[in-house]
């Protein structure tokens, strides 16, 4: 089973699009709101070198931004 985490912020329109994309395909995920979790924000910036959202982590690999085609490939779709 794939382990999917999405890191979001409330004002990010693509975060909502990414969550809908995953939900419509029956992909379960854990969500972290980086506006409320500053430790997670620091961790993501450290691990990705980027301070933008959404960040989607699939089995330890990061996709920064909503890249539908890359995301679908990584999910095996």
Q: Is residue 28 part of a domain?
A: yes
Q: Is residue 54 part of a domain?
A: yes
Token look-up 């029956």 returns: 26
Q: Is residue 6 part of a domain?
A: no
Structural domains counted in the chain: 1
For strand 4-8 and strand 30-33, is the pairing parallel, antiparallel, or unpaired?
A: parallel
Distances, alpha carbon 53 to alpha carbons 15, 57, 65, 77, in Å: 7, 12, 6, 23
Domain limits at 42? 15-66
pLDDT in tens, 29-64: 999 999 999 999 999 999 999 989 999 999 999 999
Q: Is residue 4 part of a domain?
A: no
User: Is the predicted pLDDT of residue 71 greater than 90, yes or no?
Assistant: yes
Q: Whole-model pTM? A: 0.93
Q: Is residue 47 part of a domain?
A: yes
């Amino acid at each position: 089973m794939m382990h999917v985490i999405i890191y979001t912020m409330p004002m990010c329109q693509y975060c909502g699009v990414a969550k809908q994309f995953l939900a419509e395909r029956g992909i379960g995920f854990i969500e972290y709101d980086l506006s409320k979790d500053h430790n997670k924000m620091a961790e993501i910036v450290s691990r990705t070198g980027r301070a933008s959202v959404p960040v989607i982590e699939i089995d330890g690999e990061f996709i920064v931004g909503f890249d539908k085609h890359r995301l679908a490939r990584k999910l095996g779709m």
